Each structure stands twice: as C-alpha cells, then as structure tokens.
Amino acid sequence: MTIAFLNGDYLPLAEARISPMDRGFLFGDGIYEVIPTLQGKPIGFNAHMARMRQGLEMLEISSPFPADYWRAVVNSLLTKNNELLQSESVGIYIQISRGADATRSHAYPDDLTPTLFAFAFATPPPPVPDASKVKGLHVALGEDKRWQRCNIKSTSLLGNVMHFEQGKREGKQEIILFNRHKEISEASSSNVFIVSNGVIKTPPLDHQILPGITRKLVIECLVKEGILVEETVLPLAELLAAEEVWLTSSSKEIAPVIEIEGKPVGNGKVGKIWQQAIEAFNQHKFNF
C-alpha cells in the first residue's frame, strides 16, 4: 500500500482526494518536481527546491513552506514506502497547485490555499557506468509544437505528452524536438547534449527549454573534472552529424542515444565521452 502526502497528512495513495474545483485539475495551474533518490539519498535536492521556488514565483503561487519542510516530506515518504517499493532507486513526485476555488475563473483568485501533494515511486536503476554494457536509446525527431513557456515546470504537460506518444507510436523511446529554425530545443521529457568534434554541447536555456536539474548537475560535474560544456544553439544538422548524443533527466540520468530516425549516431555505439560524463556524474551527483 503506497503512502502519499496530501496537505500535511500521510495516507494511502488510493484514498488521496482533491476537489474537482482544484485549479491544478481544471487548468493545470501548478508546478511539480521529481526528485530522484538513490539508496535513500536525494540527488540535486537543493537545485530542485530552487527551481520549485522559481516556478511558484513565476506563477504567483504563494507557498510558505521552506526546503527543510519538503526534505522532511521526502524522508518520510521514503521511510513509509520502503518495504513496498523495495528499490534502491526511488522518485519523489511533488506537486503544488494554486488550490481549489468555489467557481471556475481564468483569473487568479485571491487568498487560495495551495494544494500540496507528493508520493514515492520506484524508478529504473541508474545506467550501468560501462559503455560496453549500457543500452543506447533509439529516438525520433519532431517539430516542437508546445507553448512558449517551457522553462516553467508546469503540470500543463499536454504538449509533452503528445510528442512522447508520437515517438512511442514510431517505436522509439523518446523524441528530440526542433523549432521552426531547425534548431534543437529538448526532448519530450529530457534535455539534449551532443558531442561534436570532441566538444560537448547543449542548447542554451531560454523559454523553450526546461532548466533541467540533471542537465545542470551534468554540466557542473563535468566542470569539476575540468571538462567544459558549450551552451550554444544546436542546428538539427549538427545533431544528426554528432559523434555522440545524450538525453538527461532525473529518471534517465545520462542516457546515450545510438540511433535517430533509424540512422546510427556516430558509429552506432555508446561513446567514450559518455563514459567520462557518467563517471563524473556518479562521483559528484550527491554534492548538490
């Protein structure tokens, strides 16, 4: 029986209820975070909390709960669900919506109490840090048709869901998106890195790209090892000509891509620079 957190209480997930007038349900008016943990230790907790605060500020949702409050929730959910999940890799989903109002109005209502929700779920184990053993991803390509504020980690994910479904229907594990200028933005649920002429590159942050926490940690971990990452515009043609392509997210960590639209990336095998990246990430990922 999964135990969830809802508005200060811990209860079975199957019994958790919110009002149908909650703006998170009616409008997707809220933000969320997924905090990965490994052997009970959160990865990038402070960075996740900082992004959550920024998201709440951008949506003008008032939340007085500090990071220590959410750290206690994360620890409690790990403890309460330990026997059920029986996994070293666990994700903690946190969602804060603006709350429930008596009427449905597009305008922000005054003085609502935010709805706080969190639950724990088992996640796949981290990738094996061995280029000769890890399985690479096969991905599709698609034109980015989402809204213009993808930098907000909003619960309004319909565009991402539709893109992901497109990739799934094509038999792929993800879909990398490009804008009308044929420049890479991100994937439907991941950030994108490439290795081009031996240089690691990733698109710069803007309103079309989620400031992924794993993206941030990968860059900072590589810098600690003296390896620089260029944040630069990535033309679609450069992606297709890259020696290596990686996708990063809380659940994937650093996932190598070996095929795009049926064509191999580089030599079609996981690359040696990915090996350096995953080793650097594993060495430093708990320090943020």
pLDDT tens-place string over residues 162-200: 999 999 999 999 999 999 999 999 999 999 999 999 999
Instruction: Tell me which of 122, 152, 177 is where a domain ends.
Output: 122
Q: How confident is the model at residue 145 (pLDDT cuts 50, 70, 90)?
A: very high
The neighbour count for residue 79, using CB atoms within 10 Å, is 12
Phi, psi for 24 (deg, rounded to 5): -65, -35
| CATH number of the domain encompassing residue 283 | 3.20.10.10
The SS3 assignment for 55 reads helix
Q: Are residues 23 and 64 in the same domain?
A: yes
What pLDDT, on the 0 to 100 scale, is given for residue 239? 98
Q: Are residues 100 and 170 in the same domain?
A: no
Q: Are residues 117 and 180 in the same domain?
A: no
d(CA 9, CA 65): 15
For 102-125, what is each residue's pLDDT tens digit? 999 999 999 999 999 999 999 999
Q: Are residues 162 and 108 in the same domain?
A: no
The answer on pLDDT for 40 being more than 90 is yes
Task: Please tell me which residue in 135, 153, 252, 269 is annotated as part of the active site.
Answer: 153
The neighbour count for residue 73, using CB atoms within 10 Å, is 18
- The answer to whether position 254 is within a domain reads yes
What pLDDT, on the 0 to 100 scale, is given for residue 262? 97
The answer on pLDDT for 83 being more than 90 is no
Mean pLDDT of the chain: 96
pTM for the full model? Answer: 0.95
C-alpha closest to that of 60 among 150, 148, 160, 154? 154
What pLDDT, on the 0 to 100 scale, is given for residue 63? 86
Q: Are residues 147 and 265 in the same domain?
A: yes
Tokens 């799934």 map to which residue?
168
User: By residue range, what is the domain housing residue 143?
Assistant: 137-287
Q: Are residues 45 and 7 in the same domain?
A: yes
Q: How confident is the model at residue 67 (pLDDT cuts 50, 70, 90)?
A: very high
| Secondary structure E strands in 23-162 | 30-38, 41-42, 89-97, 115-122, 137-143
Mean pLDDT, to the nearest integer, of 250-271? 97
What pLDDT, on the 0 to 100 scale, is given for residue 6? 98
What pLDDT, on the 0 to 100 scale, is given for residue 87? 87
- The answer to whether position 143 is within a domain reads yes
- The answer to whether position 235 is within a domain reads yes
Q: How many domains does the chain have?
A: 2
For 10-26, what is each residue's pLDDT tens digit? 999 999 999 999 999 99
- The answer to whether position 127 is within a domain reads no
The answer on pLDDT for 288 being more than 90 is no
d(CA 27, CA 94): 18
- The answer to whether position 129 is within a domain reads no
Q: Are residues 104 and 143 in the same domain?
A: no
What pLDDT, on the 0 to 100 scale, is given for residue 86? 87
The answer on pLDDT for 84 being more than 90 is no
Tell me if residue 168 is catalytic: no
Q: How confident is the model at residue 64 (pLDDT cuts 50, 70, 90)?
A: confident
Q: Are residues 102 and 166 in the same domain?
A: no
- Cα dist. 171→159, 240, 260, 263 in Å? 19, 19, 12, 14
